[in-house]
Amino acid sequence: MMAINRYRLKHQAEKGHRGARLTLALLNKTDKLLGVILLGNNMVNTAAAALTTVLAIRLFGEGEMALLIATSVLTFLILVFSEVTPKVIGASFPERIAYPASFVLTPLLRLAYPIVWFVNLFVQGLLKLLRIKPRQDESSNMLGLEELRTVVMESSKLLPRTHRKIMLNLLDLERITVDDVMTPRNQIEAIDLNTEPEKLAQQISTSHHTRLLVFDGSLDQVSGILHVRRVLHPLSSGELTMDTLKEVLQEPYYVPAGTPLFTQLRHFQENQKRLAIVVDEYGELQGLVTLEDLLEEMVGEFTTQAPSQMGWLRQMEDGSWMVEGSALVRHINRKLGLALPLEGPKTLNGLLLECLESIPEAGVSIKIGDIPIEIVQTQDRAVKVARILPAPQE
């Protein structure tokens, strides 16, 4: 009963399994359960010792050697047949033993309750004298995030790999922030209100996004969020004007950098938003995060990406990978199955600059962990393209 899985036991009890219900009721009164089990156990052991002593005296006399042999034989028999073997079987098959045993122990506990209660009076007094307070709450059996993560990882034989991966991703939502998944500022596709109407209409009609950021002269002057569907009719009829565009803009929704994904997911739900602008402590725009970004962290990529977002990773004939420096380290790890560090910079460019501690030139190579990386192209004091080489096989 002590070795049984408490969570499986509760599940079986909720499904109506009678043996599980009785077992759970007994385990909720551990002191009384141990009292009735040990009462019977010690009575049998004491009776066996007394009977062995009487038999040894009658058969072999009152010699010390006879008592020593009888004690040794009885100890061996109790250890093998009454202690070690039953406990190993019980620990190996706890449910098969505990459920039938509960039908015996429950009436025994009722019959022996006065004796158990009397014994427990002395037990409780001794515990108070030693200042030991037994824990009766269920918090001791509750699992934290790390313990739950371990349970999920060890359930590989019970859960499909996809299900296990989704559950682990859900547990990571408190550790991952919007900075890890956002689209950086320099990669945001936005439209400028100062653009000529013809170019503006062309940019909207050829966009691969359903929502676009609208700014006035600079990305720091965000005017609102445009839902492309709201301007399809004036766009197709050639009646799209600046006033019409401004009328359909939605208020921008700002979130601070460092917000955990789980918190942001809840905010999206409460505010009924699908897109948020990430700003730093000074209020400057850092990037853009969408509901789709959060969902992909949980279940993986499930939508068709724009062509501009599909070229950041290319495999070469020699097995190496050409990666844009602006690519997120988390995306690289996920796509290539690598273990690049995630604690510091969010992009490959930032990671390389941090490791090299200088602005590198093309042709420079570095090994991060056991992953060789070669810088192929630099531009504007940043790594434009890098080559990730396959790790050498031992």
Is a pLDDT exceeding 70 seen at residue 305?
no
Tokens 């918190």 -> residue: 263
Is a pLDDT exceeding 60 seen at residue 385?
yes
Would you say residue 224 lies in a domain? yes
Q: Are the C-beta atoms of 279 and 256 separated by less than 8 Å? A: yes
Is a pLDDT exceeding 80 seen at residue 10?
yes
Is a pLDDT exceeding 80 seen at residue 129?
yes
Would you say residue 169 lies in a domain? no
Is a pLDDT exceeding 70 seen at residue 151?
yes
Is a pLDDT exceeding 60 seen at residue 138?
no
Residue 200's CB: how many other CB atoms inside 10 A? 20
pLDDT grade for 276, boundaries at 50, 70 and 90: very high
Q: Say if residue 123 is in the same domain as residue 15.
A: yes
Distance CA 230, CA 235 (A): 9
The pLDDT value given to residue 267? 92
Q: Say if residue 10 is in the same domain as residue 117.
A: yes
Q: Say if residue 316 is in the same domain as residue 295.
A: no
DSSP secondary structure string, 317-346? TTS-EEEETTSBHHHHHHHHT-----SS-S
The pLDDT value given to residue 285? 92
Distance CA 360, CA 372 (A): 15
State which of 299, 328, 350 marks the end of a domain: 299
Residue 161's CB: how many other CB atoms inside 10 A? 8
Task: Give the residue-averaged pLDDT of 92-102.
Answer: 90
Distance CA 386, CA 388 (A): 7
The pLDDT value given to residue 313? 82
Model confidence pLDDT, tens digit, residues 12-46 = 888 889 999 999 998 888 888 888 888 888 889 88
Distance CA 86, CA 80 (A): 8
State which of 246, 269, 299 marks the end of a domain: 299
The pLDDT value given to residue 103? 92
Tokens 């009719």 -> residue: 233
Least confident of 178-182, 234-238, 371-375: 234-238
Is a pLDDT exceeding 70 seen at residue 174?
yes
Q: Say if residue 124 is in the same domain as residue 21.
A: yes
Residue 41's CB: how many other CB atoms inside 10 A? 13
The pLDDT value given to residue 209? 86
| The dihedral formed by the CA atoms of 181, 187, 191 and 195, expressed in degrees to the nearest 10 | 170
The domain that holds 339 is classified in CATH as: 3.30.465.10
Q: Say if residue 353 is in the same domain as residue 378.
A: yes
Q: Say if residue 14 is in the same domain as residue 78.
A: yes
Task: Give the residue-averaged pLDDT of 226-245.
Answer: 82
Would you say residue 147 lies in a domain? no
Would you say residue 304 lies in a domain? no
3-class DSSP assignment, residue 278: strand
Q: Say if residue 235 is in the same domain as residue 340.
A: no
The pLDDT value given to residue 387? 92
The domain that holds 235 is classified in CATH as: 3.10.580.10
The pLDDT value given to residue 142? 67
Q: How many helices (H) and strands (E) does the chain have?
A: 17, 12
Q: Say if residue 251 is in the same domain as residue 197.
A: yes
Tokens 């009646």 -> residue: 239
Is a pLDDT exceeding 90 seen at residue 134?
no
Residue 25's CB: how many other CB atoms inside 10 A? 14
pTM of the model: 0.61
State which of 115, 141, 167 marks the end of a domain: 141
The pLDDT value given to residue 56? 84
The pLDDT value given to residue 302? 64
| Assigned token pair, 382 | 């940043």
Domain of residue 259 covers 176-299
The pLDDT value given to residue 164? 79
For the chain, the domain total comes to: 3
Is a pLDDT exceeding 60 seen at residue 156?
yes
Distance CA 117, CA 151 (A): 38
Q: Name the residue with higher pLDDT: 77 or 155.
A: 77
Q: Say if residue 267 is in the same domain as residue 327.
A: no
Q: Say if residue 342 is in the same domain as residue 281.
A: no
Q: Which of 63-67, 133-137, 305-309, 314-318 has the highest mean pLDDT?
A: 314-318
Is a pLDDT exceeding 80 seen at residue 139?
no
Is a pLDDT exceeding 60 seen at residue 171?
yes
Is a pLDDT exceeding 90 seen at residue 256?
yes
Distance CA 294, CA 311 (A): 21
Is a pLDDT exceeding 80 seen at residue 394?
no
Would you say residue 1 lies in a domain? no
Is a pLDDT exceeding 80 seen at residue 291?
yes
Would you say residue 287 lies in a domain? yes
Would you say residue 37 lies in a domain? yes
Distance CA 5, CA 333 (A): 36
Return the DSSP state at 383: E
Would you say residue 157 lies in a domain? no
pLDDT grade for 121, boundaries at 50, 70 and 90: confident
Q: Say if residue 281 is in the same domain as residue 217.
A: yes
Q: Say if residue 225 is in the same domain as residue 274.
A: yes
| Assigned token pair, 210 | 């359903």
Is a pLDDT exceeding 60 seen at residue 253?
yes
